[in-house]
């Protein structure tokens, strides 16, 4: 059954979650980001879009795989460094980010599951906040099988009704989280439900941007691999990592050894985010680079999101959050690029 | 006032005569109010060109790209590229000439004077508008900007929303041009190093704390390096492959290259990266402020470079990026150079 | 028991043999797991760890029928492979795997197999060659056409000499040398010279990219169909399990969906390798 939570009781809920690490959007130096809430009373869900998506909590930019240590002559001791999986709740997750997590679930799941990812993922409770109005001028979730109030990937969805939140419990994890709040939650009444539904319906009309008729884009991209289109489109690309690091669905990573002591050798094997936009991403040790220029790299980003991922998982690897557009220092606009692909003469 | 039509007419003339390969300029972005870099190849496309207070980008970054492309080509088109430059951007050309990265004949410089005001700071504007979305921003008649939102038009003084770099600008008129649009206005800059004055008063502990907190935020997307026209090295200590590899590079050479910093975005590595970048920009940074604008987590990177610019000025009387005939600061020694700081 | 896919198993180097000296040195290593291990298929790879340096994906050159060791023949190329070249008998390394698909040798029963390799490219096909040789009655004619730049660059020299009594072996070097009695020229030219029959035959070609390209062309010229030609692809890899996102060719991750492709499959994919 759906619930109602008075906004004044929201801090009480957070305080009841003592067993959890609580992340919520916070404004630091004019930039919003999901940060560990040290002062739970100060958490407010009145925020637009974070720079770094919530993926950083389930898939941190840096994590340890294991520790290696030279033991006796030529022998090594390896110590697995799995995350402890502390219960974590992320407040204010946008619908596009919840959906994005379901896409990274596909990548890190499957036959060979990624233990490090799942340890954090399984411990994380995602509390969504429906977007009454688009948090960014570049939102286009509706165009990529999403919506501003999508429940995908979320455990709880909250909708701001003014002085109270309409709270939809979506999973067992969500149920447990709400039960921690106890009596501060009340049963929602039909008018509340109606009010939430109206906000949801209205929110769909407020998106400023759209990416229409992209059904044929995957097939189109396949035929455009060798097109000079990519040279033109990538002219202004400066090969930084913003579009991918800050994408909620991008999951590429690097694995490196970080040495802490040479004799005896000791250190850790570390996973960090990586991006197809850096030239050394695909460079062979020989110096040969199958993606030698920024045209090839832009093509990879678009193809991965709108062709390869669709071929493998039947979904776009883009949830329309618009971060790559908003934050690109040179204004490369994924909507415009994909539209041009759509309209490209074969 | 700089008129779009004049710039467009000049661009058309250049393209029609075949004098330039293409023109690097600004166009209106998809959001309808901010400028983006654009590459104009055909005379019929010149009407895309705009000039306004959102022309933040230092387009010299793309002159660097052009040079890189050219060295890869077998029979490169040796005509110059046309490029629109503000005062700060023109100083980047001076550096590239000084360092012999490009030659004067490689660029046809279309200068625009920032006259009374420079470009805006998007974050300052957003704070000012408190949730309202900008639809258009134009230069005002005085030291102000005219901002249009869905709720109408407001006049905002330059002091409130102009980029810090423009508030401290010492070259609002391009210092090297082939053609100049706009007037050579006079502007006084009371505090050319204003942005570093506050931090200079702090104790070293407090400064360390400040920078530690700031650089802790870095996600190492390298946008600051990527957007910088001075960061043109083929090899960078920040990359996993820190040197140019050719088929002749031996395994030994590759194995022996030092891995200077780890990919982990942790404070030690982040500080190392930003220090290396700052030092390599000493006497070279022309304060276009692009690093700071590009930073997705808003690290005040400009402050680092500004401090070094100040040191160059105070210690060596060196003004960065004004005279391409003069030797670069870090590659020359003069008898009268001060030595008292060497201990 | 839960297995952590990123945690390598420790193994001891039991033999090191220098195949080729000089700056482009090639060495063959045999390793034994300290504890447990895995079974691989022909064509699969393993991620070798040198702790403190990193990992490198290397094809397993020993036959799956050989149970007491894994063999890797490695060209010294970068940071990790240089560190591997410094290993001695008794050194400990990390190994995880096996990764990737395999040559479909079961479906090749009754067919002739033509191996065409150049330089270090003999390593990935060596496991198939050894396996089919051990099960010779299951297969038809086995032929090897192998070449290197110069005679000292030839790998598995003793094994090749020994092989000549068991199957057809045609060697070549790029440029003539006084003592060289066999073919002089590229592997592709040797293919055209020997003209092996495509009838009921599978061809496997491995080597440097340019050699693969010319060999496929030569094989097509003498009548091999696209689905009769197999090769292996390599790209830079990190995870080995199709997650880190860097070795893709189109929708395929070479580490997981490759490295073995028939030319019929590979030519459908974008050329990004």
Domain boundaries, chain B: 4-119+163-331, 125-162
Write b or e for each residue in B34-49: b if 16 or more Cβ atoms lie within 10 A of its Cβ, otherwise e: bbbbbbbeeeebbebb
Mean pLDDT of C10-29: 94
DSSP A21: E
The model's confidence at residue B241, banded by pLDDT at 50, 70 and 90, is: low
pLDDT in tens, B248-278: 888 888 878 878 889 999 999 999 999 999 9
Is the pLDDT at C1 greater than 70? The verdict is: no
DSSP codes joined into one string, C79-134: HHHHHHHT--TT-EEEEEEEES----GGGGTTSEEEEEEEGGGHHHHHHHHHHHHH
Query: Which residues in chain A are contacts of C81 at CB distance < 8 A?
Result: 285
β-partners of residue A159 are: A166
**Is C83 in contact with B255 (Cβ distance < 8 A)?**
yes
Q: Which of residues 267-296 of B touch A (CB under 8 A)?
A: 290, 293-294, 296
- Please tell me the number of Cα atoms within 13 Å of C114 on its side-chain side: 27
Question: Kindly report the CA angle at C246 between A81 and C215, in degrees rounded to 5?
Answer: 130
Is the pLDDT at B179 greater than 60? The verdict is: yes
Dig out the tokens for A296 from the structure: 């090839």
Q: Rounded to an integer, what distance in angstroms lies between the CA atom of residue A316 and that of residue A210?
A: 15
Q: Which fold has domain A3-58+70-205?
A: 3.40.640
- Best residue in C81, C82, C238, C246 for a mutation probing chain B (most B CBs within 10 Å): C82
- φ, ψ of residue B198 to 5 degrees: the values are -65, -45
Query: Which residues in chain A are contacts of B289 at CB distance < 8 A?
Result: none
pLDDT score recorded for residue B243: 64
CB-based contacts of C251: which residues, under 8 Å, 6+ apart?
Answer: A307, A308, A311, A312
Residue B254 contacts C, CB cutoff 8 Å: yes
> Is A29:A6 a contact under the CB 8 Å cutoff?
no
Write b or e for each residue in B229-258: b if 16 or more Cβ atoms lie within 10 A of its Cβ, otherwise e: bbbbeeebbbbbbbeebeeebebeebbebe
Which positions of chain A have pLDDT values less than 50? Answer: none
Nearest to B119 by CA among B90, B161, B61: B161
- φ, ψ of residue A170 to 5 degrees: the values are -110, -20
Residue of chain B with shortest Cα separation from C75: B251
The model's confidence at residue C177, banded by pLDDT at 50, 70 and 90, is: very high
DSSP A45: -
Q: Which helix (H) or strand (E) holds A272?
A: strand A266-273
CATH 3.40.640 spans which residues of chain A? Answer: 3-58+70-205
DSSP B327: P
Residue B249 contacts A, CB cutoff 8 Å: yes
Sheet holding A62-70, edge to edge: A76-80, A62-70, A266-273, A253-261
CA B91 to chain centre: 9
pLDDT in tens, B13-68: 999 999 999 999 999 998 889 999 999 999 999 999 999 999 999 999 999 999 99
Between A78-82, B68-72, B335-339, the lowest mean confidence (pLDDT) is in B335-339
Query: Which residues in chain A are contacts of C1 at CB distance < 8 A?
Result: none
Which domains, ranges and CATH numbers included, belong to chain C?
9-99 (2.40.30.10), 105-232 (3.40.50.80)
**Is B250 in contact with C79 (Cβ distance < 8 A)?**
no
Q: Which of residues 157-216 of C touch A (CB under 8 A)?
A: 209
**DSSP alpha helix (H) spans, chain C:** 79-85, 122-134, 157-163, 187-194, 209-221, 254-257, 263-266
pLDDT score recorded for residue B252: 83
Taking CA atoms, B168 is separated from A52, B10, B161, B302, in Å, by: 31, 30, 13, 11
Residue with tokens 């039509």: B5
CB-based contacts of B152: which residues, under 8 Å, 6+ apart?
Answer: none
Distance from CA of A327 to the nearest CA of C (A): 23
**Is A257 in contact with C90 (Cβ distance < 8 A)?**
no
pLDDT in tens, C201-227: 999 999 988 899 999 999 999 999 999
Q: Rounded to an integer, what distance in angstroms lies between the CA atom of residue C156 and that of residue B222?
A: 46
Residue C2 contacts A, CB cutoff 8 Å: yes
Q: Which of residues 208-247 of B touch A (CB under 8 A)?
A: 214, 217, 219-223, 225-227, 239-241, 245-247
**Is A286 in contact with B37 (Cβ distance < 8 A)?**
no
pLDDT score recorded for residue A73: 63
**Is B255 in contact with C23 (Cβ distance < 8 A)?**
no
The model's confidence at residue B331, banded by pLDDT at 50, 70 and 90, is: confident
- Please tell me the number of Cα atoms within 13 Å of B285 on its side-chain side: 30
């Amino acid at each position: 059954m759906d619930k109602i939570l008075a906004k004044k009781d929201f801090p009480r809920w957070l305080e009841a979650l003592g067993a959890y690490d609580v992340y919520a959007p916070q404004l630091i130096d004019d930039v919003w980001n999901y940060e560990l809430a040290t002062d739970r009373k100060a958490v407010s869900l009145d925020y637009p879009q974070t720079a770094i998506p919530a993926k950083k909590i389930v898939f941190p930019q840096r994590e340890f795989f294991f520790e290696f240590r030279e033991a006796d002559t030529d022998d090594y001791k390896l110590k697995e460094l799995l995350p402890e999986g502390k219960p974590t709740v992320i407040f204010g997750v946008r619908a596009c980010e919840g959906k994005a997590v379901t896409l990274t679930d596909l990548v890190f799941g499957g036959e060979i599951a990624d233990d490090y990812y799942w340890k954090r993922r399984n411990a994380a409770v995602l509390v969504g906040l429906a977007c009454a109005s688009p948090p960014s001028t570049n939102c286009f979730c509706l165009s990529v099988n999403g919506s501003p109030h999508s429940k995908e990937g979320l455990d709880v969805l909250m909708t701001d009704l003014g002085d109270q939140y309409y709270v939809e419990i979506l999973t067992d994890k969500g149920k447990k989280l709400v039960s921690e709040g106890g009596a501060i939650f009340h049963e929602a009444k039909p008018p509340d439900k109606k009010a939430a539904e109206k906000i949801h319906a209205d929110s769909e009309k407020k998106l400023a941007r759209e990416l229409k008729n992209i059904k044929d884009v995957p097939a189109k991209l396949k035929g455009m691999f060798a097109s000079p289109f990519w040279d033109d489109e990538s002219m202004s690309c400066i090969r930084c990592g913003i579009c991918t690091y800050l994408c909620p669905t991008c999951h590429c990573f690097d694995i490196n050894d970080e040495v802490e002591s040479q004799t005896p050798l000791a250190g850790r094997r570390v996973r960090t985010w990586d991006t197809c936009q850096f030239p050394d991403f695909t460079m062979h040790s020989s110096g040969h680079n199958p993606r030698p220029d920024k045209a090839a790299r832009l093509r990879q980003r678009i193809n991965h999101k709108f062709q390869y991922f669709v071929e493998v998982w039947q979904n776009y690897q883009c949830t329309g959050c618009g971060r790559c557009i908003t934050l690109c220092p040179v204004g490369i606009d994924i909507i415009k690029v994909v539209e041009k692909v759509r309209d490209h003469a074969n | 006032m700089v008129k779009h039509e004049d710039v467009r007419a000049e661009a058309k003339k250049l393209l029609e005569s075949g004098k330039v390969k293409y023109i690097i300029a600004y166009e209106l972005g998809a959001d309808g109010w901010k400028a983006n870099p654009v590459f104009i190849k055909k005379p019929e496309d010149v009407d895309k060109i705009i000039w306004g207070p959102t022309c933040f980008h230092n387009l010299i970054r793309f002159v660097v790209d052009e040079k890189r492309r050219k060295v890869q080509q077998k029979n490169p088109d040796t005509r110059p590229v046309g490029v629109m430059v503000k005062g700060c951007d023109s100083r980047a050309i001076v550096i590239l000439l000084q360092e012999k990265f490009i030659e004067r004949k490689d660029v046809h410089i279309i200068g625009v004077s920032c006259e009374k005001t420079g470009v805006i700071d998007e974050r300052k504007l957003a704070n000012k508008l408190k949730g309202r979305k900008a639809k258009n921003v134009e230069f005002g008649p005085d030291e102000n900007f005219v901002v249009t939102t869905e709720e109408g038009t407001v006049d905002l003084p330059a002091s409130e929303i102009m980029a810090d770099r423009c508030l401290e600008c010492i070259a609002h008129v391009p210092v090297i041009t082939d053609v100049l649009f706009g007037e050579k206005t006079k502007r006084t800059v009371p505090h050319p190093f204003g942005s570093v004055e506050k931090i200079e008063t702090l104790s070293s502990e407090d400064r360390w704390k400040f920078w530690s907190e700031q650089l802790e935020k870095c996600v190492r997307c390298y946008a600051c390096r990527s957007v910088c026209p001075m960061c043109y090295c083929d090899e960078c200590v920040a990359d996993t492959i820190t040197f140019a590899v050719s088929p002749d590079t031996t395994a030994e050479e590759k194995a022996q290259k030092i891995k200077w910093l780890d990919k982990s975005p942790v404070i030690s590595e982040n500080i190392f990266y930003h220090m290396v970048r700052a030092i390599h920009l000493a006497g070279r940074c022309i304060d276009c402020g692009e690093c700071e604008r590009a930073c997705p987590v808003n690290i005040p990177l400009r402050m680092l470079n500004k401090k070094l610019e100040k040191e160059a000025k105070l210690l060596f009387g060196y003004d960065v990026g004004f005279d391409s005939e003069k030797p670069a600061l870090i590659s020359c020694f003069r008898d009268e150079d001060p030595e008292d700081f060497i201990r | 028991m839960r297995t952590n896919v990123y945690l390598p198993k420790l193994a001891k180097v039991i033999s090191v043999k220098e195949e080729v000296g000089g700056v482009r040195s090639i060495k063959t290593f045999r390793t034994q797991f300290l504890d447990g291990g895995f079974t691989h298929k022909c064509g699969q790879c393993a991620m070798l760890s040198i702790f403190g340096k990193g990992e490198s994906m290397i094809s397993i050159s020993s036959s799956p029928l050989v149970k007491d060791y894994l063999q890797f023949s490695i060209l010294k190329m970068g940071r990790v492979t240089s560190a591997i070249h410094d290993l001695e008998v008794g050194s400990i390394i990390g190994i995880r795997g096996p990764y990737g698909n395999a040559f479909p040798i079961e479906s090749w029963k009754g067919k002739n197999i033509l191996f065409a390799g150049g330089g270090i490219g003999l390593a990935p096909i060596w496991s198939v060659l050894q396996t089919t040789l051990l099960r010779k009655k299951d297969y038809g004619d086995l032929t090897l056409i192998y070449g290197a730049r110069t005679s000292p660059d030839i790998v598995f020299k003793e094994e090749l000499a020994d092989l000549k009594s068991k199957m057809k072996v045609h060697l070549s070097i790029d440029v003539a040398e006084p003592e060289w009695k066999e073919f002089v020229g590229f592997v592709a030219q040797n293919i055209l010279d020997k003209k092996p029959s495509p009838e009921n035959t599978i061809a496997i070609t491995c080597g440097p990219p340019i050699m693969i390209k010319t060999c496929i062309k030569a094989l097509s010229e003498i009548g091999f169909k696209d689905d009769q030609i197999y090769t292996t692809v390599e790209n830079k890899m990190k995870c080995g399990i199709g997650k880190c996102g860097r070795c893709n060719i189109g929708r395929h991750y070479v580490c997981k969906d490759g490295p073995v492709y028939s030319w019929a499959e590979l030519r459908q994919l974008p050329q990004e390798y």
